Structure 1
Amino acid sequence: MNVISFKEAKCRNCYKCVRTCEVKAITVNHEQAQIMNDKCILCGHCLEACPQNAKYFISDLDKVKGYIKEGVETIVSLAPSYLGVLKYKTPGQVVTALLKLGFSSVRETAEGAAFVTAEYDKLLAEGKMENIITTCCPSVNDLIEIYYPSLTQYMAPVDSPMIAHGKLIRRTINPKAKIVFLGPCIAKKREAESDSRTSGFIDAVINFTELESWLLEENIQIDTLPDSPFDNPDPKVNRLYPISSGVLSSVVATMEAPNSYRKFYVHGIRNCIELFESMERNEVSGSFIEADICSGGCIKGSALNRENISRFKVKLDMEEAIPKVAQKEESFYERAKDISFSRVFFDRSPKDPIPSDEEITAILQKIGKITPEDELNCGACGYRSCREKAIAVYQGKAELTMCIPYMHEKAQSMANVVLDTTPNMLIIADSDMKIVEFNSAAEKYFHIARAKALDMYLYELLDSADFEEVINTKSSVFGKKVTLKDPGITVLQSIVYIPKLKGVLGILQDISKEEERNQVAYKIKMDTIEMAQKVIDKQMMVAQQIAGLLGETTAETKVTLTKLRDTILYDGLDAPDKNPYNQ
C-alpha cells in the first residue's frame, strides 16, 4: 500500500527528494519522482525536502471519523510522545480532548511498551544473542530487512509497543473494537495495515498534526479542558520510550539482574546506516542497541513539524517529569499471560539486476562520461557517484537526463550552435539596455568583440528607441525595416520581449543586398518606362504626321473627283452651285 504519494503536476525535476533519500527508494520516470514501496523505509525525509510539496502522507483521519460517526466503539492508543508535542497543562486535559472528539476510551501506548520492555529483559537475561537491536522503530526494521539483511539475526524478535498494545486491547478489552494509534510516525501506518506479520491489531493510524487540525475544526482547545483519567494502569518508566535512550532507561529500570551486554543508543538514519555497516564488518559485539531512524527519537517523528520541537528540551522535561521506576506489579502483566509478543524478522532485500562494467561504461558514455575524469560525482542527480547513477539507470530507477552537468552542457552547446551559425545578428539586452548576449554575426557586422560588447549598452551601438518601446509595452515587434548608419546596412528588425529576463531579444537580418537588387531592378524598370515613353511619343508624332498627310491627299482627291462627277453629270454647267442636286 502507498503511505506517501505525490502530485505529478508539481514535481519539477529538482531531484531534491532523491538527494535526500539515504536508501535511494525514489525512482524517476518521465521526469516524475515516484516512491518505490518495496524499498522505502518511510523515514519521511522526502516529505520535508520537497520544495513544491509534491509528496504527501495518505491520511486515515476520515476513516477514524467514520468509525466514530457510525457509533462503533473506538479506542485510541496514545503514543507517549504526546508529552513533548501537544500543548496542555496536565496530561488529563489531553484525555478529555480525545473523549470530546468521540473516542470511547483513551489508553497509553506505553502500556504496550511495558510488555516489550519485559521481553527485552528476558533476552538480556538469556544472553543467547550476540547483539540485540531493539525493534520498536518500524523504519529501523525496514532498513535492516531490506538493506542489511545479514543483521536480521540481531533484531530482537519482539513486537513494537504499538502492536503489543493493539494485541493487549483486542484480547483483554474488546476484540471487535476499532483501535486507532495516535502518534508522531508515518511508518506506523504500514506496520499496522500492510505487514502480514502485524496487521489486524491496529485499524487506523493518525498523527499529532492531523489531531491538531481536527481539534481546531471542532473548536476544542486542550489547555482549557478539565482532567480525565487514562483507562490503563500506570506504565511508569515506559513513558520514556519516545526520547533518545528512553528504551534503555526502561530496560535498565526493569532488569532483575545485571548482564554482560554493553548498552548504547543510535538515532538518525545516517548514524544507523554507519552502525549497521560497522556491524556487517563484525566490528560490534556483545551489545544491546536502542535504534531509531529519527534524530532525537520519536518526539522528532516523521509526521511532525520538527522545526517547532526542541528534542533537547523535551528530553530534559520528560526525564524530569517521569521517574525511572519500573512497573513490576504482577497484576499488570498477568492479564497478558496468554498473549505472544514475539515477531519474526527476515531478509526482504530487493534482487535488482547488477550491470557489468561494460554496461556501466556504455551508460556513462551516453551522457558524455568517456573517461574517468569526466565522472564529476557531483551528486546533483541525487546519487553519490556517476557510476551509482548509471547502475540506477540500468535498473530503471533513474533517467539519463538526470545528469544536470551533462544537460547543461548539452543545452549550452545547442545554444552556442544556434548563436554561432545563424547569419542574423542576435543581441539580447536587459531592462536597462545592458547587452547580455552578442553573437558572432553581430561581432562581424559591428566590428566589436563579444567580450567588449557585453560591457556596453545597446544605445552605444544603435538607436535603441524601438527596443525600449518593446520593454515598456511588453509587446514584440516583427519585420521592421531599419537602416543602421554605422555598419551602413539595412536590416529587417524583429524585437521579442523576454518575460523571465524582463529584457529583449533583437534579431537583425541584413537585407542590404536585397535592397541593392531591388534598387537596380527599380532603375531598370524606370529606364524601360522612359524608353517606352519616348517610343510612344515618337510613334504618336509619326502617326500625327501620317494623319496630316492623309488628310490633305483626301481633300484634294475629293475636290478632283467631285469636279469629274460634275463634268460628267452636268455637262455645260459652269458652277457647282447651279447643280440641281446641290440645291
Structure 2
Amino acid sequence: MGLIYTNEARCRDCYKCVRECQVKAIRIRDVTGSEAQRAEVMEERCIQGGRCVLVCPQQAKRVRNNVGKAKELISTGQTVVASLAPSFAAGLPLRPERVVAALRKLGFTSVQETSFGAELVAAEHKRLPYGRTFLSSACPAVVSLVEKHFPDLISYLSPVVSPMIAHARFIKSVDPEAAVVFIGPCIAKKSEAEEKQYGGVVDVALDFTELWEWMQEEIADFKSLPAELKTEFDGPQADIGKLFPLEGGMLRTAGMSMDRLDDTVMVLSGLESCLELLRHLQLGMPCKVGLIELLACTDGCINGPMVVNEEDVFIKKQRIVDYFSRSHRRKGKALPEIKGVELYRTYTNRLFPLPLPSEAELNEILARTGKTKVEDQLNCGACGYPTCKDKAIAVYQGFAELKMCIPFMRERAESVSNRVFASMPNGIIIVNQELKILEINDVARRMLGVMGKNPKGQALSLYMDPVNFHQVAVSGSVLNLTMNYKQKDLITREIIFPLGPEEIAGIFIDITEDSKREEQQDLLNNETIKRAEEVISKQMQVAQEIAGLLGETTADTKVQLTKLIKLVKNK
C-alpha cells in the first residue's frame, strides 16, 4: 500500500484528483469487467503534497495511518519522545497546553518542540555561502518535486536537513535509545522519515488528523485532563522558531531580511508558484536571489493537508502569533551550541523517465477521440489535463484512457442516441412541461404530415391534440392507449410517459394498416357468417318442405292401407 492510496469502492472516476495534481501523479485505469474507471496514485511521480486527499468529493483518497506503530512503540515501555511541529497551535482544535498534556496522556514519555530543530536548520541556512542561489530544503514536498521532476536543479537545493530530522537527531544525540515520533500537518513528512539516508532517526511520523482521532478515542473530556500532567514542553525551549510554520518563517527564524524589496531573499508558497520558479531556473534564466524559501502549501505549514482546524488563514496565523507571544521561550537568548548533530544531507535523482509519442502517434491518439483538426481540440480540462495534447500524451504513457474525454464521450453517446432516435420504426415526440416540441423524429413527422417543416420549439397543439400529453404532465403517470386520427387517416397505439422531471415522451406505433386488415377481416367474417346463416335457413326450409311432403304421402298410404285391412276383415 502506498502512502496515499485510493479506496476503490468510493472512487467514482470524476477526475478531480487528476485536475488538482500539479505533477500529474494520478493514473486512471479501467476496472476489469466493468465500465467504471479508478484513479490510483503513482508513487514514482507523487510528491505527497496531499491536494488530491483534500479535494476528493468521495473521500476516496486515503493516507496510510501510522497510529498503530506509535502505540506499539509506547507499549514496549521504552522512552518515546513526541516531536511536535510548531503548526500544532493552529492545526489542532485545542489550546496548546492541552495538546501537550493530551500527548502525555496517550503515553509519550516526553513532548518536545520541533521548532527547536527549525532554529538549528535556520541557523545553518544563514551560514550558506553567498554568491549563488539556494532553495530551502525544509519542505519535503518541494524536495521531492525537485528530485522527481526537476533533477537537473538538485544543485540548487540547500544541503541542510529539515527541522524534523534535525530535531530527531538532537533527541537521539541526548538519548540514543529513545524512539522519536514526529507529529505534524504534512503527508510528505511520512515519506521523508522513511528515507534510507536518515537511518530511521524518526521512528514514526504521524499527521494531525490521525493524532486527533487517536486523542478522541482515548480522552473523553479534554477539559478534565489530570492536573499533574505537565502542560509545558520538555527539552530545549524554542524561541523565534515557533513562527517557522508561517510563510517566511525560516527567514524570520534565521534572522534574515523579511523586506520584500530585498533581492537577496525570496519567499514563495503554493505549489504553482514553486513550479513557476523551477521552470524559470530550468530554462537557465538569471536569478540573483541568494536564498529562496519554497513551501508547497500556500501560506506555509499552517495550511498543511492534514490540519484539523478548518479556520481561515488569518485566524490560523493569529493563533501562531498569539501562541508565540504568550509561550515559554528563550526570549531573545542565543541558540545554545549543539555539538554532534549532523545537519547536512544529500539528494538523489528520482526522475521517472517517460516515453513521448511522435507527432504521428500523437495525432493518431487525438483522432481516436474525434480531434482531427486543431479546432476540435477544446482544451476544456474536464479530463484533468490542461490541453487535449497533454491528455493524448498521458494516454500514450499509460496514465489516461481515451474515454476520459468528456466532450468525445458525450458526442459519441449523443451520436448513438441520435442514430437510435432517427432509425426507430416508430414515431417519437418529446415535449417540455409547456408542451412545446423538443425533439421529433422523421417517422413522427410523417405521421403528423409535417415533413417539410421544423416543429421544434413550437406548441404540440399546432399539430395534434395534446390532451394525452397534458394528462401525463399533470399526473406523472404512463398512458397506454389507441387513438384514431380520422382527418389524417391514422390509427396509432401510443405510449406516453414522463422523461425525467421536465420532459414528456410519446411513442407512436402506426397500426393503421393492421386496423384496416382487422376491419376487412371482420367484414369478411361477418359476410361469411351471413352467408352461412342463409344456407342454413334455406336448408331448413327444404328440410321442412320435404318433411311436409313425406308427411302427406305417409298419411295417404295409411288411409289406403286401413281401407284394405277393413276390406280383408269384412271378407
TM-score (norm 2): 0.86
Deviations 1:146-169 (A, max 9, x none): 111101122122322112222332
Deviations 1:6-38 (A, max 9, x none): 233433332222111111111111222211121
Partner of 1:575: 567
User: 1:232 aligns to what SS in structure 2?
Assistant: coil
Gaps of 5+ in 1: 255-259, 567-573
**RMSD between aligned residues:** 3.3
- Distance in 2 (CA, whole Å) between partners of 1:436 and 1:68 is 69
Identity of aligned residues (%): 37
8 Å contact kept, 1:132–1:156 = yes
User: 1:370 aligns to what SS in structure 2?
Assistant: coil
Pairing partner for 1:104 from 87, 90, 109: 109
8 Å contact kept, 1:433–1:457 = yes
Displacement after TM superposition at 1:97 (Å) = 2.5
Note closer, same or farther for the CA distance 1:212–1:430 as it changes in structure 2 (3 Å cut): farther
8 Å contact kept, 1:238–1:326 = no
Note closer, same or farther for the CA distance 1:553–1:286 as it changes in structure 2 (3 Å cut): same
- Matched AA of 2:109: S
8 Å contact kept, 1:15–1:381 = yes
Gaps of 5+ in 2: 31-36
- Tell which structure's C-alpha radius of gyration is larger: 1
User: 2:254 aligns to what SS in structure 1?
Assistant: helix
Partner of 1:247: 250
Displacement after TM superposition at 1:484 (Å) = 4.0
Displacement after TM superposition at 1:228 (Å) = 2.4
Note closer, same or farther for the CA distance 1:93–1:538 as it changes in structure 2 (3 Å cut): closer
For residues 76-115 of structure 1, the aligned pairs below 5 Å read 76-86=82-92, 91-115=96-120
- Distance in 2 (CA, whole Å) between partners of 1:65 and 1:380 is 43
- Distance in 1 (CA, whole Å) between partners of 2:429 and 2:77 is 73
- Distance in 1 (CA, whole Å) between partners of 2:73 and 2:504 is 61
- Matched AA of 1:376: L
- Matched AA of 1:79: A
For residues 159-198 of structure 1, the aligned pairs below 5 Å read 159-175=161-177, 177-193=178-194, 195-198=195-198
Displacement after TM superposition at 1:415 (Å) = 2.0
Note closer, same or farther for the CA distance 1:98–1:486 as it changes in structure 2 (3 Å cut): farther
For residues 297-336 of structure 1, the aligned pairs below 5 Å read 297-304=300-307, 307-311=310-314, 314=317, 318=321, 321=325, 325=332, 327-330=334-337, 333-334=338-339
For residues 511-526 of structure 1, the aligned pairs below 5 Å read 511-526=511-526
Deviations 1:26-51 (A, max 9, x none): 11112222111211111111222222
- Matched AA of 2:111: V
Partner of 1:257: none
Partner of 2:201: 201
Displacement after TM superposition at 1:430 (Å) = 4.5
- Distance in 2 (CA, whole Å) between partners of 1:455 and 1:402 is 37
- Distance in 2 (CA, whole Å) between partners of 1:120 and 1:59 is 33
Partner of 1:454: 457
Displacement after TM superposition at 1:192 (Å) = 1.8
For residues 322-401 of structure 1, the aligned pairs below 5 Å read 325=332, 327-330=334-337, 333-334=338-339, 337=340, 339-401=341-403
The worse-fitting range, judged by mean Cα deviation, of 47-56 and 307-316 is: 307-316
- Distance in 2 (CA, whole Å) between partners of 1:301 and 1:109 is 16
- Distance in 2 (CA, whole Å) between partners of 1:225 and 1:460 is 83
Deviations 1:356-400 (A, max 9, x none): 111111111111111222222222211121111111111111111
Displacement after TM superposition at 1:525 (Å) = 1.3
The answer to whether the aligner puts 1:428 opposite 2:420 as a matched pair is no
For residues 114-129 of structure 1, the aligned pairs below 5 Å read 114-122=119-127, 124-125=128-129, 127=130
8 Å contact kept, 2:185–2:208 = yes
Note closer, same or farther for the CA distance 1:409–1:441 as it changes in structure 2 (3 Å cut): same
For residues 401-416 of structure 1, the aligned pairs below 5 Å read 401-416=403-418
TM-score (norm 1): 0.85
Note closer, same or farther for the CA distance 1:548–1:173 as it changes in structure 2 (3 Å cut): same
- Matched AA of 1:398: A
The worse-fitting range, judged by mean Cα deviation, of 301-310 and 42-51 is: 301-310
The worse-fitting range, judged by mean Cα deviation, of 344-353 and 312-321 is: 312-321
Partner of 2:54: 48
The answer to whether the aligner puts 1:294 opposite 2:301 as a matched pair is no
Note closer, same or farther for the CA distance 1:575–1:87 as it changes in structure 2 (3 Å cut): closer
Question: When the two structures are aligned, how many residues end up with a matched partner?
Answer: 552
8 Å contact kept, 2:20–2:384 = yes
The worse-fitting range, judged by mean Cα deviation, of 501-510 and 310-319 is: 310-319
- Distance in 1 (CA, whole Å) between partners of 2:387 and 2:466 is 52
User: 2:540 aligns to what SS in structure 1?
Assistant: helix
- Matched AA of 2:567: A
Deviations 1:33-72 (A, max 9, x none): 2111211111111222222222232322344345445655
